[in-house]
Chain A
Amino acid sequence: MIQFEDFSFTYTGQHDPALRRVSLDIGEGEYVLVTGPSGGGKSTLCRCLNGLVPHFHGGALSGRVVVDGLDITAHQPREFAARVGMVFQDPENQIIASDVERDIAFGLENLGMPADIIAQRVQESLDMLGIPLLRRAPIDSLSGGEKQKVALAAALAVRPSVLVLDEPTSELDPQSAREFMETVALLHSEGGLTVVLVEHRIERVADYSTRIVVLDGGSVVVDESRRAALQLLLDEPHGVGVPPMVEVARDLRMAGLWSGTTPTEIDEARERFGDIIASGSTERRYERKPTPGPTLIEVQDLHFQYENGRPALQGVTASVRANELLAVMGRNGSGKTTLARHLNGLLKPAHGRVTVKGADTRHASVSSIAGTVGLVFQNPNDHLFADTVEEEIRFTLKHLQIPEDEAGRRVDDVLALLGLEQYRHHYPRGLSGGERQRIALASVVAARPDVLVLDEPTRGLGHELKEELLRFLIGYCDAGRAVVLITHDVETVARHADRVLLLDEGRVVDDGPRRTVLSRSEVFRPEINAIVQGHLRGKKSEAFMTIDDAIEAFI
């Protein structure tokens, strides 16, 4: 169905090729996961599959790509529209019409199909995705998960033979992501679709694929069946984090406690070695146990409602203490970001109180709180506008009226701390996603706020970058400050958070140590914790959260 023959591509104006001598042969009905570090060439490969490369994104190429019998150099993207369905990362930017059914119909109308056939296809797509009730819904009334389903429905309506998904779950909470992936799996198994899925968080999606391709530096470095690829990635990670169960399988094997085939699905792992882990010790001696310091932010009975009348927060009470890494979790639309905007006074409580070091945010301007509470937003591009990285950081310090010589010292410190020294004079928006994320962070951290609030900072980051960021944040907490991490990333929270605040529909549904909260949650349960379920024999499951827990349990 898809053949890459020694294909290389270099974008116009770039020196290094985005893809280097890629050779791949993907058969009809395969489900291939394409993964790799940030900048590895995953998205470029996706864009080759319907001719966006080289027709929309020009550049120099060699070799050949043939998709469903059409050579991509000889055919325009629109000619692939009936054969290749594309779902991109951000659903907002791929929905063209202003309501659901019209958007699903858009591609069919472009193909010149008669109205009765379009009506039939729209209905089929809505039913297939389980969203018939959304048929007439305006796009701006949909959640992120619903928008992504609409984008998928629109891609499927043309009945493509290949479905290409470029990080389709990056904006979704774990449950919405699971629902989305299960829908795709069903389409693959029952409809015989060829699926190419790009995703760097392979713990979310490895279960569903039959084959894994890893791209690093534009080259294919792994191309194996799911099980064999995961095994190879253990020895040579290529910047990709394997699912915890695969690492645990290796460690158990090395410790001589278990031998067998590496599991790739949770049920399989539970059956194979869930009892072995659960039978281990529940004592955890090597974990970070900070002593909570004074309360820096106090939230009391906070209510907030948006202009459309939808209640966003309904009586939230919480606190942020020094030395503590607090994770705020919850499904899409649960109120996490609204709460974050209250912590630095961007939003003022409709009812209740937020105090920052004792001062009520209702009586303070955002700029006056900025030195105490720093907020790093989801999209680093929203932060960046200066000509150089140094100017970007100085901008914050200037507006906080930090004296020039002190500002110079702080710029030097933060550049060194976040490994950005080499980019000091670079244009921030010209750097990679991970680097831009760090610059946005640096522009806030330079103010040395007592509380650092980060909204989804690990989204789009590869495994190694994520670990680096978390090391930095823990160091920040250990210096007597606090970090509030708003995230869907369960495994990161399981490894690093001190406390978890769980929100649902604007209410706090749980607040406590991470082990307690995560082990009680069905939606935000870490993989290792899921594996030991059913084998605990009275033991508390909260002792089994991470790979480190699993190792400590039996060694």
Chain B
Amino acid sequence: MNLQFSYRRNGSGIHHLNPFVMPAWVAVILVAAMTVSHPVWLLVVFLSTVPVAYAAGVGRQWRGLMKFVLWMCVAIVVINVLVNQQGSNVLLQAGFRVPLLGVPMMTAEALAFGGAMALRLAAIISAFTLLNLCVHPDDLMRAAIKLRLPYRSVLVTSLSTRFIPVLVADARTISEVQQSRGLSFGSGSLVQRVRNRGALVFPLLSNSLDRAVQVAEAMESRAYGVTVRRTFYRDVPLVREDVAALLVLFGGMALVIIVRTFGFGVYEYYPALGDLFMSPAEWLMLALLSASLLFVVAAGIVRRRRTHDSI
């Protein structure tokens, strides 16, 4: 399986949107996922990211990561059920007592709460994955600088995205080197295994330091820091579909705040599961939020047409 989660240019309109649009989209999802607790709301927020992945042409990579996230979700549900003994609807109960924890049992409330937490996590990871896959790190850097974040800090972040794959490759090679010398990372006592990891960690750290010095040399040689007013070669323009997408997302964010202020999107898990019922007004608000999140797909289609027309 190809787990390539870094930016890859493709012809999708979403890839061509202004670099402010996708961070704004992620922000709406992040705030929505963190503030609502109703499982239907969380499910809809997560599902709203799926068409964006496919419209951006990164469905395969997205699916690859989501398979991994699915296992994380299962783990969250299982751990919550095992650790959280609250709730009034007992589904299963063990016939023995565990010191400090009492009689282990599984409640419908713990199961549902674990599921909601998993959905929340899935929505957030999905959003950040798409941001990573669809926005060039250098464009993100440019957007951050426009937001008056300090250039040096932003550059360091951008450099780290460039060198993380190199670091991973280095770690893999060093691990192979030490295995070729008879080392088995998974065998021996705990102390021995920790010591064995030293054979991986020390060369990796030393090599990374060497690399850092060489990168710094190259940057110095290429006029880094020579002028306070650095220019930027490529600036992705803010055109009408970007403005429209940003306005719609701004509306989405306002909606989330209204929803939370008026007590919508809330669900009681404990002590007993509440009613899943949602009023027509709440359904309407949920539909509007989903529409605002899906608007980037429409903006991407318009941008793609415009790009083609200009070619």
Contacts and interface: CB of A to CB of B under 8 A. Distances in A.
A and B bind:
yes
Contacts of A346: 176, 179-180
B231 A112 contact: yes
A82 B221 CA distance: 9
A377 B217 CA distance: 26
Nearest to A114: B231
Nearest to B188: A399
A86 B206 CA distance: 24
A108 interface: yes
Given A94-B215, A107-B222, A307-B3, A429 B199 contact: no
A373 B191 CA distance: 28
A106 interface: yes
A344 B180 contact: yes
B218 A77 contact: no
A178 B223 CA distance: 29
Contact of B223 (A81, A93, A95, A365): A81
B162 A96 contact: yes
Contacts of A258: none
A131 interface: no
A344 B159 CA distance: 35
Contact of A138 (B8, B180, B183, B230): B8
B146 interface: no
B227 A98 contact: no
Interface of A: 47, 50, 52, 55-56, 76-82, 84, 86, 88, 90, 92-99, 101-102, 105-115, 118-119, 122, 136, 138-140, 154, 158, 307-309, 341, 344, 346, 365-367, 370-371, 374-375, 377, 379, 381-385, 395-396, 399-400, 429, 443-444, 447
Contacts of A111: 223, 226-227
Given A94-B215, A105-B233, 15 more contacts: A50-B221, A81-B223, A94-B214, A98-B7, A98-B136, A110-B230, A111-B226, A114-B231, A308-B4, A346-B179, A367-B179, A377-B177, A382-B203, A383-B181, A385-B206
B160 to A, nearest CB: 11
Interface-central residue, B138, B165, B181, by most chain A CB under 10 Å: B181
A437 to B, nearest CB: 14
Contacts of B182: 367, 370-371, 396, 399-400, 447
B219 A96 contact: yes
B234 interface: yes
B189 interface: no
B210 A115 contact: no
B226 A110 contact: yes
B207 interface: yes
B238 to A, nearest CB: 16
30 contacts: A47-B217, A52-B221, A55-B220, A76-B220, A78-B220, A78-B226, A84-B221, A88-B218, A93-B218, A94-B214, A96-B218, A97-B138, A97-B162, A98-B6, A98-B158, A106-B222, A107-B223, A112-B230, A122-B233, A140-B165, A158-B223, A366-B179, A367-B179, A367-B183, A367-B184, A370-B182, A381-B210, A382-B174, A385-B202, A395-B199
A428 to B, nearest CB: 10
Interface in B154-173: 158-159, 161-162, 165-166, 170, 173
A6 B202 CA distance: 40
A381 B223 CA distance: 30
Contact of A98 (B162, B225, B226): B162
B9 A98 contact: no
Contacts of A385: 198-199, 202-203, 206
A274 to B, nearest CB: 43
B137 interface: yes
B216 interface: yes
B231 A109 contact: yes
A122 B234 CA distance: 11
Contact of A112 (B137, B165, B177, B227): B227
B221 A77 contact: yes
B211 interface: yes
Given A308-B4, A381-B206, A385-B198, A115 B214 contact: no
Given A78-B224, A102-B138, A367-B182, A92 B166 contact: yes
Contacts of A384: 203
B161 A98 contact: yes
Contacts of B218: 86, 88, 93-96
B241 to A, nearest CB: 22
B1 interface: yes
Nearest to B216: A56
A117 to B, nearest CB: 9
A165 to B, nearest CB: 12
Interface in B208-266: 210-211, 214-227, 229-235
Nearest to B202: A385
A112 B231 CA distance: 5
B279 interface: no
Nearest to A107: B222
A171 B164 CA distance: 22
Contacts of A122: 233
A115 B176 CA distance: 45
A109 B230 contact: yes
B310 interface: no
A383 B177 contact: yes
A382 B4 contact: no
A443 B181 CA distance: 8
Closest 7 CB pairs of A and B: A81-B223, A399-B182, A94-B218, A105-B233, A110-B223, A93-B214, A385-B202
Nearest to B210: A381
B15 to A, nearest CB: 11
A78 B166 CA distance: 26
B226 A399 contact: no
A52 B217 contact: yes
A170 to B, nearest CB: 14
Contacts of B181: 370, 383, 395-396, 399, 443-444, 447
B93 interface: no
Contacts of A371: 182
A458 to B, nearest CB: 18
B277 to A, nearest CB: 47
B172 to A, nearest CB: 10
Contacts of A84: 221
A166 B9 CA distance: 32
Interface string B263-285: 00000000000000000000000
Contact of B180 (A92, A109, A110, A375): A375
A93 B182 CA distance: 30
A377 B176 contact: yes
B230 A86 contact: no
Contacts of B230: 109-110, 112
A246 to B, nearest CB: 34
Contacts of A92: 166, 211
Contacts of B1: 307
A484 to B, nearest CB: 13
A366 B227 CA distance: 53
Nearest to A47: B217
A309 B223 contact: no
B16 to A, nearest CB: 12
Contacts of B174: 382
Contacts of B166: 92
A76 B224 CA distance: 11
Nearest to A96: B219
A114 B220 CA distance: 21
